[in-house]
Amino acid sequence: MNSIGTAEKISLLTMIISKINRHAREQQLDSQSAGVSSLQHGILQILSISTHTSSELSRMMMLDPSTLVPVVDSLEQKGLIQRSIDPKDRRRTPLVLTEQGIEALRRIAKSSEADPLMTSLQMLGQENAEQLLALLTDVLRHMPDGEAILARLDQAEKGE
């Protein structure tokens, strides 16, 4: 093995894959004239499953609140989300999708056949793709807050 170790290679490859995927998603959103960035689209998708406060979103997405607040403000100004009041805790301000936000999500395609990640996974074949998913899940499980993140992903997948 050369001077770059396995962990460093994996880190580099995941960073490159993530950047390629994010760029492709931005292009897809632009081509659909969605009017939202990939980060904004991610927030809309999360809120379509359940309401969250800005701080909850910040933790869930592993973003600094100072990064997230202007993004949330922009979504609110576009009329896609609104801040509401939790009747059980008036200090808590959950974010909810508006009808306009729900409609915006309906208009945005989930992914396209031209998506580079989708294409690459299809080329791997179902068995290899499932093996990769299992390995990535195990890696995440052993990272800080990995179990909690996996639990949230599982809840989101089940629509809870």
Per-run averaged pLDDT (10 residues), the chain, 160 residues: 77 92 87 86 88 86 89 94 83 89 84 80 94 94 85 70
Nearest to 46 by CA among 32, 27, 63, 31: 63
Report how far residue 155's alpha carbon sits from residue 160's, in angstroms, rounded to the nearest whole number.
Answer: 5
For residue 157, the model assigns a pLDDT of 67
**Interhelix angle 38-49/65-77, nearest 10 degrees:** 80
Nearest to 36 by CA among 76, 84, 93: 76
Output the CA angle 134-14-41, nearest 5 degrees: 90
For residue 146, the model assigns a pLDDT of 83
* CA–centroid distance for 37 within its chain: 12
Could you report the per-residue pLDDT of 39-84, keeping only the tens digit for each?
898 899 889 888 888 888 888 888 898 989 999 999 999 999 999 8
How buried is residue 25: exposed, middle or buried, by Cβ count under 10 Å (0-12/13-18/19+)? Answer: buried
Query: 43 with 108: CB under 8 angstroms?
Result: no
